[in-house]
């Protein structure tokens, strides 16, 4: 047993509490922060503990409620569903895992375990993980509704498209990892957003080169900021510190380095207060991109 990874040994302890009834069905499971505190482990280890418990079917994550001990009567219901497993169930299970733990934790085995079926049962509905992640992305964009904005109102239309992407990425950060800039996928629920943007740019009088450059840069900005948010969320899990906590912890060394000769710009911004809010940074970048598109539009009009 000593060779068993630490996170699995901790998971075994919590599993024992669940099976003995000390942690009753429907009660909150130990949070990652509680595991860090009680077992004196890193946040990354605590995250693996919850993942192992979820994969074994002992806990489940309920949106708005956190991770709870799975109700015992659900196992029978899951067994009953095996014969009528649907692609939609598989996709929804993948989304739940990705939302809770991140895209790397979405494996065919993990999804099957969460549904109480064999891994092979999934392959009757989805051929591989890549297909599953594309279907997951399609599902989270399926509820997006484009606003009623006239085609001539180019700036509100491009602004709206960017914010729709940003809203989905904020709820499902992993989706930014799936969508590619250089190798765009034909995902049904994402296509209307791309068409909305490209049609708007064409109506502005842009040729193909300007249309594609503007469209790609706008999408790259949204996706890049979403990936930055995803990385920050992972860093907070790993360290237990928010970005503000990290800055306070490193404030002294940062000031010393920035205050040295040859760094007047860095020294200035380190001394000045700055609220590192990614929504604010995203909005600033988006509006400057739209300013640039407007400048290009006016330049073409005066040719």
pLDDT, greater one: 295 or 79: 295
What backbone torsions phi and psi does residue 69 show, to the nearest 5 degrees?
-70, 130
Which two three-digit tokens encode residue 210?
């300007």
Render the burial of 245-264: b for 16+ CB within 10 Å, e for the rest.
eeeeeeeeeeeeebeeeeee
CB atoms within 10 A of CB 64: 4
Find, among 178, 162, 283, 174, the residue nearest to 230 by Cα: 174
- My answer on whether 65 and 168 are in the same domain is no
What pLDDT, on a 0 to 100 scale, did the predictor assign at position 1?
41
76, pLDDT greater than 50: no
| pLDDT the model gives residue 55 | 78
Domain boundary among 23, 47, 71: 71
Decide if pLDDT at 92 tops 50: yes
Which is it for the CA torsion 301, 283, 180, 112, positive or negative?
Answer: negative
282 C-beta neighbours (distance < 10 Å), count:
22
In sequence order, the 6+-apart residues with CB closer than 8 A to the CB of 220 are 181
Q: Lowest mean pLDDT: which of 112-126, 150-164, 231-245, 248-262?
A: 248-262
pLDDT tier, 42 (very low <50, low <70, confident <90, very high otherwise): confident
Q: How confident is the model at residue 53 (pLDDT cuts 50, 70, 90)?
A: confident
Tell me what pLDDT residue 195 has: 95
Q: What is the pLDDT of residue 117?
A: 85
pLDDT reading at 203 higher than 70: yes
DSSP-assigned letter for residue 28: B
CATH code of 17's domain: 1.10.10.10
Range(s) of the domain holding residue 209: 154-240+273-301
User: Where residue 163 falls among pLDDT bands split at 50, 70, 90?
Assistant: very high
Which residue in the block uniquely carries the two structure tokens 């729709």? 164
29/100 Cα distance (integer angstroms): 14
Please determine, for residue 49, whether its predicted confidence score (pLDDT) is greater than 70.
Answer: yes
Task: Note the pLDDT tens digit of each residue in 5-32.
Answer: 888 889 888 988 888 888 888 888 888 8
Q: Inform me whether the pLDDT recorded for 159 exceeds 60.
A: yes
Number of domains the chain is built from: 3
Query: 3 and 112 share a domain?
Result: no
Q: Does any domain span residue 185?
A: yes
The model carries a pTM of 0.68
> Among 299, 289, 302, which Cα is nearest to 155's?
289
Tokens of 178: 């799936």
Sorted by sequence, the CB contacts under 8 Å of residue 102 that are 6+ apart come out as: 174, 230, 234
pLDDT band at 190 (very low <50, low <70, confident <90, very high): very high
Q: Which residues contact 100 (CB under 8 A, 6 or more apart)?
A: 54, 61, 67
Cα separation, 37 vs 285, in Å, equals 39
Same structural domain, 283 and 162? yes
DSSP 184-220: ----TTTHHHHHHHHHHHHHTT--HHHHHHHHHHHHH
Q: Do residue 100 and residue 195 come from a single domain?
A: no
Answer yes or no: do 38 and 90 share one domain.
no
Q: What mean pLDDT, rounded, does the chain reach?
A: 84
Percent of the chain with pLDDT over 70: 82
16-25, 36-45, 104-113, 126-135: segment of lowest average pLDDT:
16-25
Three-class SS of residue 6?
A: helix
Model confidence over 238-274: pLDDT tens digits?
Answer: 777 666 665 565 566 666 666 665 666 666 656 666 5
Return the CATH number at 112. Answer: 1.10.10.60
Q: What mean pLDDT is predicted for residues 202-213?
A: 95
């Amino acid at each position: 047993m000593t060779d068993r990874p630490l996170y699995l040994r901790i998971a075994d302890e919590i599993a024992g509490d669940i099976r003995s009834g000390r942690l009753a069905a429907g009660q909150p499971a130990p949070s990652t922060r509680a595991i860090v505190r009680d077992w004196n482990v890193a946040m990354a280890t605590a995250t693996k503990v919850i993942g192992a418990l979820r994969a074994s079917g002992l806990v489940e994550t309920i949106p708005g409620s956190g991770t709870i001990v799975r109700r015992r009567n659900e196992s029978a219901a899951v067994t009953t569903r095996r014969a009528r497993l649907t692609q939609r169930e598989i996709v929804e299970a993948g989304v739940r895992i990705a939302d809770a733990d991140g895209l790397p934790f979405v494996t065919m085995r993990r999804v099957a375990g969460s549904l109480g079926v064999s891994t092979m049962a999934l392959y009757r509905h989805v051929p591989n993980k890549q297909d599953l992640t594309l279907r997951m992305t399609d599902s989270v964009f399926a509820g997006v509704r484009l606003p009623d904005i006239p085609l001539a109102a180019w700036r509100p239309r491009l602004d709206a498209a960017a914010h729709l992407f940003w809203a989905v990425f904020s709820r499902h950060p992993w989706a930014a990892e799936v969508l590619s800039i250089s190798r765009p996928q034909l995902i049904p629920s994402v296509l209307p957003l791309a068409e909305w943007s490209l049609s708007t740019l064409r109506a502005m009088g842009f040729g193909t080169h300007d249309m594609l450059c503007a469209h790609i840069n706008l999408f790259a900005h949204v996706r890049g900021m979403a990936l930055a948010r995803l990385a920050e969320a992972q860093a907070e899990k790993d360290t237990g510190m928010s970005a503000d906590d990290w800055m306070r912890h490193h404030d002294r060394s940062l000031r010393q380095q920035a205050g040295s000769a040859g760094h007047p710009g860095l020294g200035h911004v380190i001394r000045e207060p700055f609220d590192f809010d990614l929504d604010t940074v995203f909005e600033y970048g988006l509006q400057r991109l739209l300013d640039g598109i407007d400048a290009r539009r006016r330049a073409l009009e005066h040719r």
